[in-house]
Amino acid sequence: MPTIPVSCNGNIIKSVNDFEYLGVKLDLCPTFNNNVNYLNGKSIGKIKNLNRLNPILPNNLKMTLYKTLIIPHSHTMRWSMTASV
């Protein structure tokens, strides 16, 4: 895809294919595939860490960690997937 050179005070601003803004991956195509893959990777890493701590954590703490660490990513993923349809 051709890009238009952009400059500010004589400095050329580099063009990128994707970037993260407020926890959301944005790319040139409005399909949000990069965002879904990115959030999926973050969620899997957190689930693995929770699973590793499973034997030593009480159930109420595991539920609190799940609600604060994983559910927000799943809601964002769901929004990204419906926005790309």
pLDDT tens string 19-72: 887 777 777 776 667 767 777 787 788 888 888 888 888 989 888 888 887 787
| Whether the model pTM is above 0.85 | no
Residues belonging to the chain: 85
